[in-house]
């Protein structure tokens, strides 16, 4: 059996021919042939970037950018040679990746293939085949430009257009498959001296399998027909919706068991994530030590090309009363390392060596305004305390008044449970799945299943960031992870009680959005959870005075209003539909705090937020 075909089979089929222990989620990491990871051609111009001191060394930054987490987009050597769909330039060409707003980068020890930041090598745990996949840095690293200076901000929300990237990738694979000249160039470069007629035909069949898989993913995550093609666009993504469908449609192998991802949100900044008691915009996930970050991060991998399969257990597992089995390409150890590094990341400090200096007198007055109007939700954390744990404020959606679509979709989307029907929602705890149940609970069930598949490795991976020892008797470790999962589920239930029972016509009456400390907020435009407001100045205006259209995708920073230049960009964000009504998911309403201040007070407040 050829390596690629073997990798694409559900892992439970592989498990039928090897021992159970060899099917661990984080098994060995075989050596990849050197020629697969050597740079084979120039990637184009990589800009000279300045980086700010956020507590990371150069090596740690490189490690964060290029440590794989188990995501598999396409085979690594294919990514080296895949052409763009509408021309002969390479897909990974720097100009093309910059147009998608991913960050081209040079080759290094951590990145021998010269991949963009956040595109990492992953060795399939079963076959050893090298794949390219996304890692945390793809979505949580950004470049901010000001008058020719390019600042690299670690942990900042990307401006990338994930949907356009995937559409272009899908089109490139299809074009390579259907254009004989494109395919011929691709095959010669990929196979090199091994380009026999038999190998070329094998490559074509493998390419067809991967192209089909990407086309299926695109179809499952399509928007309804009445949504504009550029609805998701730059700087935001419905990650929750993609994760839901990864569980309901792909893990359960029913492509029609899906919900449209109609609630794109701004990518959150990740400094302070490890320290918060809850994560996600809707505060739906408790950050229970060890288990919380592990569950959160596995779910993230599943949403960005990490496979998840939930299937009938093989015979030997049924003998111990286990009827459902789980498998994935997720790399638990890589996730543990990534979380440990994020834990040490500091928010960026306004760099006066590159940006206009802060007006200290105005900022001091702004602090008084902030304390009077903002601090009840957004606590002020002193620089020396930014790595300490904190409790985030949860504000009811009805009170904050911002677009409710994300909260509603996360809580009210339903899906068939298929083989999970009658099993406990979270394996060790929770009610039993009904025939149709909460969609988000299905991938969460899968994530818990992956943790329990190899509890010792899971506990060790989760403990990396906690500096917690995991030595001791095997049974004690397993008991520890089980107790932690039960506690995590219990905490989760407290955050979102009776989720679907509180949904009426798709509206979740008990929804909340998370308000976090605003350290580094100056580097995280656009604003509100759905990215519907371009800058801090606009956020302080009444909703009627906020821009209803503005360009997105520009990297040029506006240090006055604190956001990006909205007079240029790559796509026009529109709050309203063509008929003048608000596009669900795009509302810039709500968050009225500070909107009744005088203009002087608003400018003082903006100046103070530069100091956070």
Quote the pLDDT of residue 32.
44
The whole-angstrom separation of Cα 545 and Cα 73 is 42
Quote the pLDDT of residue 183.
97
Quote the pLDDT of residue 289.
86
Quote the pLDDT of residue 86.
95
pLDDT digits (tens, 9 = 90+) for 586-607: 999 999 999 999 999 999 999 9
pLDDT digits (tens, 9 = 90+) for 493-506: 888 665 567 788 88
pLDDT digits (tens, 9 = 90+) for 368-414: 999 999 999 999 999 999 999 999 999 999 999 999 999 999 999 99
Average pLDDT estimate for 142-148: 98
Cα 192-195-200 angle, rounded to 5 deg: 125
Average pLDDT estimate for 226-252: 96
The whole-angstrom separation of Cα 501 and Cα 518 is 34
Residue with tokens 């929300």: 157
**Entry pTM:** 0.91
Quote the pLDDT of residue 497.
60
The whole-angstrom separation of Cα 392 and Cα 300 is 21
Give the tokens for residue 476: 């004690």
Average pLDDT estimate for 258-272: 97
Quote the pLDDT of residue 315.
66
The whole-angstrom separation of Cα 283 and Cα 492 is 9
Average pLDDT estimate for 195-212: 95
Run of H or E residues at 371: helix 360-373
Quote the pLDDT of residue 36.
56
Quote the pLDDT of residue 105.
95
User: pLDDT averaged over the chain?
Assistant: 89
Kindly state the percentage of the chain with pLDDT values over 70. Answer: 89
Quote the pLDDT of residue 478.
59
Residue with tokens 């498959």: 177
How buried is 475 (Cβ within 10 angstroms: 0-12 exposed, 13-18 middle, 19+ buried)?
exposed
- Out of 35-39, 371-375, 576-580, 593-597, pick the least confident: 35-39
Run of H or E residues at 442: helix 441-453
pLDDT digits (tens, 9 = 90+) for 501-543: 778 888 888 899 999 999 999 999 999 999 999 999 999 999 9
- 582 secondary structure, DSSP code: B
The whole-angstrom separation of Cα 59 and Cα 582 is 46
Cβ atoms of 26 and 125 within 8 Å: the answer is yes
In Å, what is the CA distance from 353 to each residue of 152, 457, 548, 567? 14, 45, 34, 25
The whole-angstrom separation of Cα 29 and Cα 27 is 7
Q: Which tops the pLDDT comparison, 509 or 297?
A: 297
pLDDT digits (tens, 9 = 90+) for 304-314: 899 999 998 87
**pLDDT class of 31 with cuts at 50, 70, 90:** very low
- Out of 143-152, 308-317, 357-366, 531-540, pick the least confident: 308-317
pLDDT surpassing 90 at residue 24: no
pLDDT digits (tens, 9 = 90+) for 421-479: 999 999 988 899 999 999 999 999 999 999 998 888 888 898 888 874 444 444 555 56
**pLDDT class of 38 with cuts at 50, 70, 90:** low
Quote the pLDDT of residue 321.
57
pLDDT digits (tens, 9 = 90+) for 157-202: 999 999 999 999 999 999 999 999 999 999 999 999 888 999 999 9
The whole-angstrom separation of Cα 225 and Cα 241 is 17
- Out of 44-48, 233-237, 554-558, 605-609, pick the least confident: 44-48
pLDDT surpassing 80 at residue 294: yes
Quote the pLDDT of residue 8.
32
591: left (phi over 0), alpha (psi -120 to 50) or beta: left
């Amino acid at each position: 059996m050829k390596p690629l075909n073997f990798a694409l089979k559900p892992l439970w089929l592989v498990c039928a021919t090897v021992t159970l222990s060899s099917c661990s989620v984080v098994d060995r990491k075989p050596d990849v042939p050197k020629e697969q990871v050597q740079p084979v051609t120039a990637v184009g111009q990589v800009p000279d970037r300045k980086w700010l001191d956020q507590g990371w060394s150069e090596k740690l930054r490189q490690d964060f950018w290029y440590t794989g987490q188990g995501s598999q987009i396409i085979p690594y050597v294919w990514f080296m040679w895949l052409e763009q769909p509408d021309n002969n330039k390479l897909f990974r060409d720097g100009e093309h990746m910059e147009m998608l707003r991913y960050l081209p980068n040079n080759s290094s020890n951590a990145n021998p293939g010269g991949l963009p930041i956040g595109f990492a090598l992953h060795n399939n745990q079963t076959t050893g085949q090298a794949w390219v996949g996304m890692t945390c840095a793809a979505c949580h690293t950004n470049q901010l430009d000001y008058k020719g200076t390019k600042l690299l901000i670690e942990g900042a929300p990307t401006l990338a257009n994930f949907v356009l990237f995937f559409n272009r990738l899908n089109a490139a694979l299809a074009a390579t498959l259907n254009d004989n000249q494109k395919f011929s160039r691709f095959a010669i470069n990929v196979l090199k001296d091994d380009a026999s007629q038999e190998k070329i035909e094998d490559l074509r069949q493998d390419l067809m399998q991967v192209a089909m898989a990407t086309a299926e993913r695109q179809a499952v995550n399509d928007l309804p027909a009445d949504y504009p093609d550029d609805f998701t666009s730059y700087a935001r993504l419905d990650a929750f919706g993609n994760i839901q469908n990864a569980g309901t449609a792909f893990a359960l192998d029913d492509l029609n068991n899906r919900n449209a991802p109609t609630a794109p949100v701004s990518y959150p900044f990740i400094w302070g994530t490890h320290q918060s008691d809850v994560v996600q915009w809707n505060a739906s996930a408790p950050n229970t030590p060890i288990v919380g970050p592990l569950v959160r991060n596995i779910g993230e991998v599943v949403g960005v090309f990490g496979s998840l399969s939930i299937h009938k257990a093989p015979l030997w597992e049924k003998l111990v009363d286990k009827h459902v089995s789980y498998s994935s390409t997720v790399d638990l150890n890589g996730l543990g390392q990534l979380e440990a590094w994020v834990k040490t990341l500091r928010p960026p400090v306004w760099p006066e060596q590159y940006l206009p200096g802060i007006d200290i007198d105005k900022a001091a007055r702004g602090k008084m305004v902030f304390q009077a109007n903002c601090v009840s939700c957004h606590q002020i954390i002193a620089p020396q305390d930014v790595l300490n744990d904190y409790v985030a404020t949860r504000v009811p959606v009805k009170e904050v008044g911002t677009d409710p679509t994300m909260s509603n979709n996360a809580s009210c989307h339903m899906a068939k449970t298929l083989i999970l029907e009658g099993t406990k929602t979270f394996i060790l705890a929770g009610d039993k799945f009904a025939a149709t149940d909460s969609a988000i609970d299905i991938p969460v069930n899968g994530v818990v299943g992956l943790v329990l598949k190899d509890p010792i490795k899971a506990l060790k991976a989760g403990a990396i960031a906690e500096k917690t020892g995991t030595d001791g008797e095997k049974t004690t470790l397993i008991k520890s992870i089980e107790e932690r999962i039960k506690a995590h589920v219990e905490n989760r239930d407290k955050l979102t009680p009776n989720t679907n029972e509180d949904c009426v016509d798709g509206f979740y009456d008990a929804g909340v959005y998370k308000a976090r400390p605003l350290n580094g907020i100056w580097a995280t435009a656009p604003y509100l959870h759905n990215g519907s407001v371009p800058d801090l100045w606009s956020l302080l205006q009444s909703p009627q005075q906020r821009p209803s259209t503005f360009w997105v995708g520009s990297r040029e920073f506006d240090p006055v209003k604190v956001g990006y230049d909205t007079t240029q960009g790559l796509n026009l964000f529109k709050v309203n539909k063509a008929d003048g009504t608000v596009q669900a998911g795009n509302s810039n309403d709500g968050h009225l705090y500070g909107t009744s201040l005088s203009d002087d007070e608003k400018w003082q407040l903006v100046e103070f937020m530069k100091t956070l």
